[in-house]
Amino acid sequence: MQIEPLPQGFGAVVTDLDVRKDDAAEISALQETFIDRHLLVFRDCGLLTPGQQAEIVGWFGKSGADGGSYGEIATTMDNAMDRGRAILPFHCDITYFPYPLEGISLHTIELPQVETSTTYVSNAVAWDTLPAALQDDLRRRKARHFYEDDGKMGTEITLFEHWHPVCMPHYRTGRPLLFVTEHHVEQIEGYGPEESARLLKQLFAHLYAPERRYEHIWRKGDLVIWDNYAVQHARTREAHPSEGRRVLQRVSFGEHGFAEQFAVLRKEAAKGIKAI
């Protein structure tokens, strides 16, 4: 097994690994690398079943935190549907709930003939490289993460929101993370709308600077696993079906998923309790 760090300051590429063989020493090395680098790219895995992918994900956390509607451990991102093809701004999944997913994995099932990619940035690297004066100010503040439903969920709840620390300590290591995303944050505590907009523009320019991005060009047999607190992801180009089929198999991990937190929110809304 070879582990090659990516030059962006986060992530690593793993080659010459038999993912179907449980080698305790190799798994331990991968776990240590994941804690430090927050993203792993596994090359040449072959075609993995949902169960095989979940078993690998289980090396890093409790798999299946955000599976299918009928208990499936895996879902698919398919460009036959809008959610699988549309441009997707940088974000971490379900940050508008108290507990975002701990991690996510994607594995190639079908790929078009043209290049298709997912782009990643590191919240840890972004925080580490902020000016000290800005770090000092942001340590004391929270940001509003929100999602407005367009009615497709068929519920009376139309707004999901939660205030997270801008400087988010990593749930496992305590490492500081710059926890704001262009997809779900538009307000920082203690600032008016115009001040928040200016500050977020500055933070997003820092987070998403070209030299801090890792654009992963998907190949057959790829499996990418990342820490959803420490790493943001985006689909920066539309994966239009006219270019060919793009299907990625998704297995997430963590103690809390969307469905259970949504159920809590619905119950509180029914009782007239203010939304979390």
Instruction: Dump pLDDT digits (tens) for 3-23.
Output: 999 999 999 999 999 998 889
Task: Look up residue 217 and give its two tokens.
Answer: 């060009």
Range 120-140 average pLDDT: 97
pLDDT at residue 236 is higher than 70: yes
User: Residue 156's domain is classified under what CATH number?
Assistant: 3.60.130.10
Dihedral angle over CA of 55, 213, 100, 274, nearest 10: -160
DSSP state of 225: E
Residue 49 · residue 164 · CB < 8 Å: no
DSSP state of 126: H
> Is residue 242 in some structural domain?
yes
Range 74-94 average pLDDT: 95
Task: Look up residue 226 and give its two tokens.
Answer: 């990342």
> Is residue 275 in some structural domain?
no
pLDDT at residue 101 is higher than 60: yes
> Is residue 127 in some structural domain?
yes
Beta bridge partners of 103: 227, 253
pLDDT at residue 274 is higher than 60: no
Confidence of residue 163 (pLDDT cuts 50, 70, 90): very high
Number of domains in the chain: 1
Confidence of residue 150 (pLDDT cuts 50, 70, 90): low
| Residue 114 or 149, more confident | 114
Beta bridge partners of 150: none
Structural element, H or E, at residue 160: strand 159-165
pLDDT of residue 210: 97
Task: Look up residue 252 and give its two tokens.
Answer: 């997430």
Report the chain's mean pLDDT, rounded to a whole number. Answer: 93
Residue span of the structural domain in which 21 resides:
2-270
Structural element, H or E, at residue 138: helix 132-138
- The closest of 161, 138, 159, 135 to 148, measured between CA atoms, is 159
- pTM, 2 dp: 0.94
| Residue 175 or 257, more confident | 175
Range 188-198 average pLDDT: 95
Question: What are the distances in angstroms from CA 163 to CA 214, 275, 276?
Answer: 28, 12, 9
Query: How far is 72 from 250, CA to CA, in rounded Å?
Result: 11
pLDDT of residue 276: 43
Backbone angles phi, psi at 124, to 5 degrees: -70, -50
Structural element, H or E, at residue 195: helix 193-207
Query: How far is 21 from 241, CA to CA, in rounded Å?
Result: 36
pLDDT of residue 29: 98
Confidence of residue 270 (pLDDT cuts 50, 70, 90): confident
Q: Classify strands 142-148 and 247-253 as parallel, antiparallel or unpaired.
A: unpaired
- Tell me the pLDDT tens digit for each residue of 53-64: 999 999 999 998
> Is residue 276 in some structural domain?
no
pLDDT of residue 142: 98
Query: How far is 66 from 63, CA to CA, in rounded Å?
Result: 8
Confidence of residue 273 (pLDDT cuts 50, 70, 90): low
pLDDT at residue 264 is higher than 60: yes
pLDDT at residue 97 is higher than 60: yes
DSSP state of 63: B
